[in-house]
Amino acid sequence: MASEFDRPVDRKNTSSLKWEKYGDPDILPMWVADTDFLSPPAIQEALQERISHGIFGYTNTPDELTRLVIDRMERLYQWHIEQDWLVWLPGLVCGLNLACRATGQPGDRVLTPSPVYPPFMSAPHLAGQQVVTLPLKNSNGHNSLDLEALEAAITADSKLLLFCNPHNPGGTVYRREELEQLAALVLKHDLYVCSDEIHCDLILEQGLAHQPLAALGPEIGARCITLMAPSKTFNIAGLGCSFAIIQDRQLRKQFNNQRKGIVPDVNLLGYTAAIGAYRDGDEWNRQQIDYLRQNRDYLIREINQIPGLKLEKVEATYLAWIDVSGAKLENPARFFEQAGVGLSPGRDFGDDRFMRLNFGCRFELVEEAVRRIRRALLNQLPA
Ligand SMILES: Cc1ncc(COP(=O)(O)O)c(C=O)c1O
């Protein structure tokens, strides 16, 4: 039976970053992380109602949204947060950059697992800091932290770990035990952690659940800046509404000091959409997750049958991290574009053996992408 997620929506001529990247209409854009799904009706209705008011002046954070986030943390993670701990931000990348500046000086070292979403590597550089990347290790198809390597990399001038959970790329959902070990290490070495949990509502693997690092306990909570947003889950990234949860008053002060006069407040439509998402979006998201899981299962089955390609389980996110090294391509990004599929180059994430495919779209497009990829790779095999 067709689902609402199968419905084609034309995104051309909407200034969509994703759909306008390629001048060529024959390239399926499967790169940047937004989906092609309509936002849930609750969000569209909340926005329409707000727009019909007709006045769009400076805006406070709506109390209803603060309440919704506090309740959500309690309900989903038994994490009791206070209103003061919330810092609203126009984007998570902005939060990563503020975290570097709030916790260290130019010259300090920032640690981050790798491969990773590119701003994890650029944020330290933009703050005049050094970035130390620590390769994730693959154990039984699950990418996990190499805690020994992490500990070995910690020096006196290492102040911050930029952490991504669920991990982008690859979709690892870190297990509670791993997080507890990480927390122990962080406390032992007095590190701060900026934990980017933007994909926390997109866990596809049944039986797994998100665990915020900071929610493990007040001690680790005091070392954490947690970043979250409804943007990936509800396809409202263009509305710029995210938040940091910072338990420690001094750390929060340092973070806020960095933003003063530079980082704008969240705009009122971003707040409005976030209210719609967190008040009424959960059932819609359950359906979205079922749909994404089918896309994922199909991709894993099909991609692994194509000579030269390998795809491990994607536990969370709608981003498949495909090992293309077996295909021995000179320029993988160009090769797949010429095949009619626009992917994100693994090089940008720190591993050029991979390409990232965004499957947050109609199943029909996923099937078509697989067809094109298969055809192109089979054609270039020696006869
Ligand atoms: C891990 C991660 N953090 C942050 C972002 C972007 O956040 P924002 O658009 O709010 O700056 C993305 C987008 O793909 C992401 O995957």
Structure tokens at 7: 């419905």
- The answer, yes or no, to whether the previous bond of 169 is cis (omega within 30 of 0) is yes
The β-bridge partners of 142 are 139
CATH no. of 45-280: 3.40.640.10
Contact 204, 232 (CB under 8 A): no
Distance, in Å, from the CA atom of 185 to the CA atom of 183, rounded to the nearest integer, reads 5
What spacing in Å lies between the alpha carbon of 19 and ligand 1's midpoint?
A: 18
Structure tokens at 236: 């409202």
Contact 236, 71 (CB under 8 A): no
Q: Which residues form the pocket of ligand 1, taking CB atoms under 6 Å from any ligand atom?
A: 33, 91-93, 117, 164, 168, 196, 198, 229, 231, 237, 242
Q: What are phi and psi of 379, to 5 degrees?
A: -65, -30
Helices 363-379, 282-303: axis angle to 10 degrees equals 20
What spacing in Å lies between the alpha carbon of 380 and ligand 1's midpoint?
A: 35
Q: How many CB atoms lie within 10 A of CB 32?
A: 15
* Closest C-alpha residue for ligand 1 atom 7: 92
Among candidate residues 31, 57, 21, 44, the one with its CA nearest the CA of residue 239: 44
Top CATH class, 4-40+282-377: alpha beta
Given the CA of residue 317, which atom of ligand 1 is nearest to it?
16
**Three-state secondary structure call for residue 217:** coil
In tens digits, what is the pLDDT along the chain, a chain of 383 residues? Answer: 589 999 999 998 899 999 999 988 899 999 999 999 999 999 999 999 999 999 999 999 999 999 999 999 999 999 999 999 999 999 999 999 999 999 999 999 999 999 999 999 999 999 999 999 999 998 777 788 999 999 999 999 999 999 999 999 999 999 999 999 999 999 999 999 999 999 999 999 999 999 999 999 999 999 999 999 999 999 999 999 999 999 999 999 999 999 999 999 999 999 999 999 999 999 999 999 999 999 999 999 999 999 999 999 999 999 999 999 999 999 999 999 999 999 999 999 999 999 999 999 999 999 999 999 999 999 886 65
- Location of structure tokens 């574009």: 337
Given the CA of residue 116, which atom of ligand 1 is nearest to it?
1
pLDDT for the residue 382: 61
Domain coordinates in residue numbering, the chain: 4-40+282-377, 45-280
What spacing in Å lies between the alpha carbon of 156 and ligand 1's midpoint?
A: 29
pLDDT for the residue 15: 93
Best mutation site among 18, 93, 356 for ligand 1, i.e. most ligand atoms within 8 A of its Cβ? 93
Cβ neighbors of 351 (< 8 A, separation 6 or more) are: 114, 115
pLDDT for the residue 141: 77
The β-bridge partners of 203 are 316
